[in-house]
A and B are shown apart, each in its own frame.
Chain A
């Protein structure tokens, strides 16, 4: 079981992912964005950061990195792919996940630990019970997820909405609980098959109880157990 963490020019959370994986006993290595061979990896992670300086749109250039063709094929074969923050933005730009990201409502870069509610979902990366509230930091300027009404209805019906921003008690405020203005409070979604998962929060920052807590651990360990058939 080996994770590959893709390094794009401008990624800055790839080391956090690697450190988190090692802390959790997961074999992990970096993958250069120019590589076209990802054989030997059982899961691929697209990390947070500012790939290609966020020029044009977040994730718009990284999507055409040589490695992404392989990542798309890997996902089509059912390989698990996780996109965190900028990684999520890249997944939407690559059309591996539906929708798109807008600037945060209020134009503020938001950096804070927020409560998130696990929804009924088909995501292979998550097996937390529906309604579970986890606290994970967000750290982004473009996390305002948007999609047309038809796409949103499909996401909801298929169990593709994995995480929603919520209040500390797990309820959602009538005017929305997403500080970034995200549609339907959406913080994380997966594809129909459940193997491709994108989320704006950074679970890799919440794996060590000595530092910040353990709420992020399941977002790495679940897929390991699943692939191992446990």
Chain B
């Protein structure tokens, strides 16, 4: 069994409504140092050991877990290796 952690975030230039709202709310709370807030998704996935694990997890992201039109993702495996798309 191998565990992968996936972080899905909006691509550069895509408006992030929850992030923008949190940004304003933090400013209202007096955190003047906040320059930007981006909110995304965290997905943890466990797969049976097999060949091309990382590539298959990336395929899962392309197909279902992320929308390539607006989102990008970063996959981190148990050893800390990272795959970004």
Please list the residues of chain A having a beta carbon within 8 angstroms of any beta carbon in chain B: 56-57, 60-61, 64, 92-93, 98-100, 102-107, 144, 146-147, 181
Contact = CB atoms under 8 A, between A and B. Distances in A.
B70 A93 contact: no
Contacts, number: 38
B15 A105 contact: yes
Given A102-B70, A106-B21, A146-B70, A181 B64 contact: no
B64 A64 contact: yes
A90 B73 CA distance: 21
Interface residues of B, number: 12
A208 to B, nearest CB: 34
A60 B67 contact: yes
Contact of B69 (A61, A100, A107): A100
Nearest to A93: B67
The 10 closest A-B pairs by CB, nearest first: A103-B17, A100-B69, A100-B70, A107-B21, A100-B67, A107-B17, A105-B17, A57-B67, A102-B17, A146-B14
A56 B45 CA distance: 14
Nearest to A92: B69
B17 A106 contact: yes
Given A99-B69, A100-B69, A102-B70, A60 B64 contact: yes
